[in-house]
Amino acid sequence: MAKAVRDIDRGYARIIRTLAELKGKEIAVGLQAGDVHKESGMDVARLAAIHEFGATINFKARTQTVYHKISASGDFSNGGRFVKARKSNFARDVSVGAHYIVIPARPFVRRTFDEKHVAWHNTAQAQVGLVIDGKKSTSAALATIGNVMERDIKAKIADGPFLPNAPSTVRRKKSAKPLIESGRMRQSVRHVVRRRGSGRVT
């Protein structure tokens, strides 16, 4: 006579569901399209790509209005350098010849990955373990991983090291440190959790 067999689920079904849920998600970290850089009016994600990979920007010959501040003695203030229109009391039109500028690559995303990918892998393993053990939800674990990656990329933007700004940029922005003059790009680094392969937030 056959004996009765009882199938007692001690969490196996939950683990299988959890693994399926994790397999269907991915974390995208970086500059998300839609944020605008105040000074240039450019999408921050596009600006970040220029800094990440470098670029050569060509300018056509043109006429441009430049602004100065003249002191009471009749001399140019600010060492004769240009000022913003709202701070000026003298303007003139000048001809600017065709020229180009080279923006060197400052790969803050790729360098962060090279330096931190092992630590990220360890963080992910630890978080998945917590989910499998039922100690943390899938969404909370993915958020933790994303926050760690986001934090590391922001730190790389702030600390570099990268090639310093060109002298002309230093005069304009008062700093040789690239990437952080307004903080807008660093603030725009964030992570999103989405369905794997969809390119869309879930």
Residues in the chain: 202
Alpha carbons within 13 A on the beta-carbon side of 96: 12
- Give the count of beta carbons closer than 10 Å to the beta carbon of residue 161: 10
79, 66 contact by CB (below 8 A): no
Tokens representing 163 are 């090639």
76, 135 contact by CB (below 8 A): no
pLDDT at res. 151: 95
Instruction: Give CA–CA dist 52/107, Å, rounded.
Output: 4
Segments making up each domain of the chain, as ranges: 12-55+105-195, 61-97
**pTM for the whole thing?**
0.70
Q: Report, in angstroms and rounded to the nearest whole number, the Rg of the chain calculated over CA atoms.
A: 26
Per-10-residue mean pLDDT, the chain, length 202: 65 77 86 71 83 88 90 79 86 89 88 95 93 88 95 88 67 62 77 79 54
Secondary structure E strands in 33-172: 55-59, 62-68, 90-96, 99-103
